[in-house]
């Protein structure tokens, strides 16, 4: 299992973002994987993890599936299906894989599952390659 490249200022994976989630992402057996415990500071309704953060986690894990292939991308489309509410404190497993490679456009699928295997949310996404090599990833953004 190898760690997937990150941008240090990223809200989700950046280890230098003081407000960020600081989640490490890995590539294993053809898919991006990570774990995150739904934090109480990100509640929507009382005791329930906010759906916007669910979508954020799915976007990040799908983008990491593309980055694991050494391709820098930007999200162009994402569809999320919320299947079951996530109580805060739940340890989530995030997984995603590339499902189609159409040149500069890559299609992905991801899911968030609980510790008992319950699927809480799924997503599909389309990501446009923005640089030909990971080495061309900007170190900072305006």
pLDDT per residue over 35-77, tens digit each?
999 999 999 999 999 999 999 999 999 999 999 998 889 999 9
Domains of the chain: 26-135 (3.10.129.10)
Place of tokens 């005791």: 47
Q: What angle do CA 22, 40, 96 make, to 5 degrees?
A: 50
Whether 136 shows a pLDDT value over 80: the answer reads: no
Place of tokens 């295997």: 117
Q: Which residues of 92-120 are buried (b: 16+ CB within 10 A; e: fewer)?
A: bbbbbbbeeeeeeebbbbbbbbbeeeeeb
- Tell me which of 107 and 140 has the higher pLDDT: 107
- Say what the pTM is: 0.91
| Whether 89 contacts 49, CB under 8 Å | no
């Amino acid at each position: 299992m190898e760690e997937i490249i990150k941008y240090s200022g990223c809200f989700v994976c950046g280890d230098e973002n003081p407000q960020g989630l600081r989640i490490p992402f890995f590539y294993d057996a053809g898919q991006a994987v990570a774990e995150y415990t739904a934090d109480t500071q990100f509640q929507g309704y009382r005791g329930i993890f906010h759906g916007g953060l669910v979508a954020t986690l799915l976007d990040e894990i799908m983008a990491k599936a593309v980055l694991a292939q050494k391709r820098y991308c930007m999200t162009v489309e994402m569809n999320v299906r919320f299947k079951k509410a996530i109580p805060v404190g739940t340890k989530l497993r995030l997984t995603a894989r590339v499902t189609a490679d159409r040149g500069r456009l890559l299609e992905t699928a991801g899911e968030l599952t609980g510790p008992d295997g319950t699927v809480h949310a799924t997503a599909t996404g389309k990501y446009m390659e923005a640089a030909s090599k990971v080495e061309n990833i900007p170190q900072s953004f305006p």
